[in-house]
Amino acid sequence: MSVQSDSLSQFQEIIKQQSIYSVYQPIVSLQDGSVFGYEALARGPKGSIFHSPLEMFEFAEKQGELYILEKLAREKAIQGSILEHHQQLLFINISSQVLYDPQFVPGKTLEVLHQYGLRPSNVVFEITERSSIEDFSLAKKILEHYRKQGYRIAIDDAGAGYSSLQAIAELQPDFIKIDRSLIESIHTNKVKEYIVETFVTFAQKLNISLIAEGIEHADELIKLTRLGVHYAQGYLIGRPSERPVQVEESHRTLIWQHRKVEGSGMTWTIGDLATPVKVFDKKTVISEVADYLKKNQEAVGAVIVSEDSPVGLMMRDRFFQQLTGQYAFSLFWNRTIDSIMDDAPLIVDEYMAVEQVSQMATSRSIQRLYDLVIITSKGKLVGSASIRAILESITNVRMESARVANPLTGLPGNLQINRELNKRILENKPFHVVYADLDYFKWFNDRFGFQRGDQLIQYTADIMQQAIAVCGTPHDFVGHVGGDDFIAISATSFPELLCQEMIRRFDQGVQLFYEGEEWDYVRDRAGNPVKSEGVTLSLSLVVCSCDTPISLEQISQCAALLKKKAKAHQGSIYYFQNIC
């Protein structure tokens, strides 16, 4: 028997005996370190030449048996699913060419889900690039059918080729998985960092979540967390397993320390919006819940718990809709509430950002759009929040920010700067203040015009924020004092590295504003000629790490002395001083 026929015989036996199985690799939130979901990865029989999924799927494709193997892999993924609760997601791989297979009949996956107690809202179809998508209009039509049922879509290997970018533009997925080639050593490779920064920016605009694949080192995890990537996957966090994975406490701590939090000194976590909510044990009889809702007309719903952990939600309107009808009361009256509750409500941790919760809540189906959001602390119920409260909170914060922000850059102005400094002083914890000032900005404005001057101011605001995102901590602050003066307040352990990053970014991009023009000298504010290559950045770093109280005046005086020293030096530079 030839090697080829022997391989075919083994493959056919695997399909006949359904002897493949699934392992599951965790996908972790870079907001709180919790397990967001699992990617199901198929494996052939142990000891077989097809134990490796790569060998098995490549052979199936050559034999024209890819559909039947993927169908079996999907069924095994669902059958062995290790999801711990209904908020977790199961990522199932589907190659793009299978979408066009005439055997790819809608409804088959749904049957298997129901058989094992799952629902479409638990499943993400991950489109892999074993071959590129040829007919996007047909693919969109097929995937839209699945979206309407509640499934979500992910594009795999983004950044590994041109076709994945086209797939993102055409299919508008819910998730983008960033290829390992962009993740490996990202903490030492600025080009990769800038590419991922770009992914983060456009993902925010399109309301898409990013998943970084292939993380193997803590430095990679820190960098991705600081950049604002939403989720992470890789051997560092957890290897593929047949059992649920617990994220190591050290990795959760890193995520908490470096996570990116929007806003400065304002209410931006969902826990701040938690309000008390009526609670029923899951074995409470329906008649008791009905009695409560009839007597309390203001109650919009109730949370269903098991040992203080939320397991479901019962909204008033949906509750009474189910009890309407000729025989409804007699059928349901003495049953327990868990038989009719919504067992997949939106449950979020108290530290999750309000805007992130808003995106999750408003992406639900229209039937659930106004359901309460359940808020937990370490898995235990702390309260709920309504969609109205969430949207009002976001609106109020944005209005407050707009009222006192600098109109040119949108950064917090002097009122918020003073609030932030006072807050840091009262906390009595180490922090650092970086004052930034542009040298020869008046000369630039006079030579190139105020419009270009405004663009340079906006550019400076951008590089300050980018440097904080990369080298700072989640609750760091950037403000616009006015004109060409800025301030950053940081708790980073490496303030000098932060200053170096600001200077590097500024000097790297400022040349673009000159559009190739040349000059022999610039002029200072007094009109005196000064030999210089153009606008530079002077930074004053005030290190506030003492135990004794300090004042705003001390910080200001120290910064003024450092600024004078920096401006006497040619080129971009920073000077620092510890005021203790």
CATH number at residue 247: 3.20.20.450
- pLDDT at position 18: 86
- Residues 431 and 523 reside in one and the same domain: yes
**Given a cut of 80, is residue 160 above it in pLDDT?**
no
* Same-domain status, 363 and 413: no
Type of residue found at 366? I
Q: What is the pLDDT, as a whole number, of residue 264?
A: 43
557 shares its domain with 501: yes
Residue 380 lies in a domain: yes
Q: What is the mean pLDDT of residues 540-554?
A: 84
pLDDT at position 148: 81
Across 31-40, average pLDDT: 90
* Domain end residue (candidates: 258, 290, 318): 258
* Average pLDDT of span 163-167: 70
Q: What pLDDT band is residue 573 in, cutting at 50, 70 and 90? A: very high
3-state helix, strand, coil split of the chain in percent (to 5) is 45, 20, 35
> Which CATH number fits the domain that encloses residue 501?
3.30.70.270
Indicate whether 23 and 163 sit together in one domain.
yes
Is pLDDT of 266 > 60? Answer: no
Ranking 91-105, 458-472, 535-549 by mean pLDDT, the lowest is 91-105
Give 500's strand partners.
none
How many angstroms separate the CA atoms of 54 and 58, rounded? Answer: 6
Question: Do residues 294 and 254 share a domain?
Answer: no
In this structure, the answer to whether residues 274 and 204 fall within a common structural domain is no
pLDDT score for 37: 94
Query: Do 537 and 444 fall within a single domain?
Result: yes
What is the mean pLDDT of the segment spanning 483-507? Answer: 94
53 and 159 assigned to the same domain? yes
Q: What is the CATH number of the domain that holds 350?
A: 3.10.580.10
Pairing relationship of beta strands 175-178 and 152-158 according to DSSP bridges: parallel
Does residue 363 surpass a pLDDT of 70? Answer: yes
Q: Please, are residues 543 and 495 in contact by the beta-carbon 8 Å criterion? A: yes
> What are 77-110's pLDDT values in tens digits?
999 999 987 778 999 998 877 766 666 655 678 8
351 in the same domain as 246 = no
| Cα dihedral 356, 359, 364, 369 sign | positive
pLDDT tens per residue across span 183-209: 999 988 888 988 898 888 888 888 889
Q: Does residue 103 sit in the same domain as residue 182?
A: yes
d(CA 575, CA 566): 6
Cα dihedral: 420, 424, 425, 430 (round 10) = -150
Judge whether 399 lies within some domain.
no
Task: Assess if residue 264 is contained within a domain.
Answer: no
Confidence class of residue 1 from pLDDT cuts 50, 70 and 90? very low
Instruction: Write down the pLDDT at residue 445.
Output: 93
402 within a domain of the structure (yes/no): no
The DSSP secondary structure of 283-339, one letter per residue, reads: TSBHHHHHHHHHH-TT--EEEEEETTEEEEEEEHHHHHHHT-SSSHHHHHTTSBGGG
Average pLDDT for the chain: 86
User: Last residue of some domain: 235, 258, 281?
Assistant: 258
Is 472 a domain residue? yes
- pLDDT band at residue 263 under the 50/70/90 scheme: very low
20 occurs within a structural domain: yes
The reply to whether 356 falls in a domain is: yes
Task: Supply the range of the domain harboring residue 87.
Answer: 3-258
Are 361 and 419 members of one domain? Answer: no
State the total domains in the chain: 3
Please report whether residue 146 resides in a domain: yes
CA 446 to chain centre: 42
Q: How confident is the model at residue 265 (pLDDT cuts 50, 70, 90)?
A: very low
Q: 208 and 85, same structural domain?
A: yes
What is the mean pLDDT of the segment spanning 281-297?
Answer: 93
- Domain end: 258, 282, 314, which one? 258
Strand order in the sheet with 477-482: 477-482, 485-490, 431-439, 536-544, 573-578
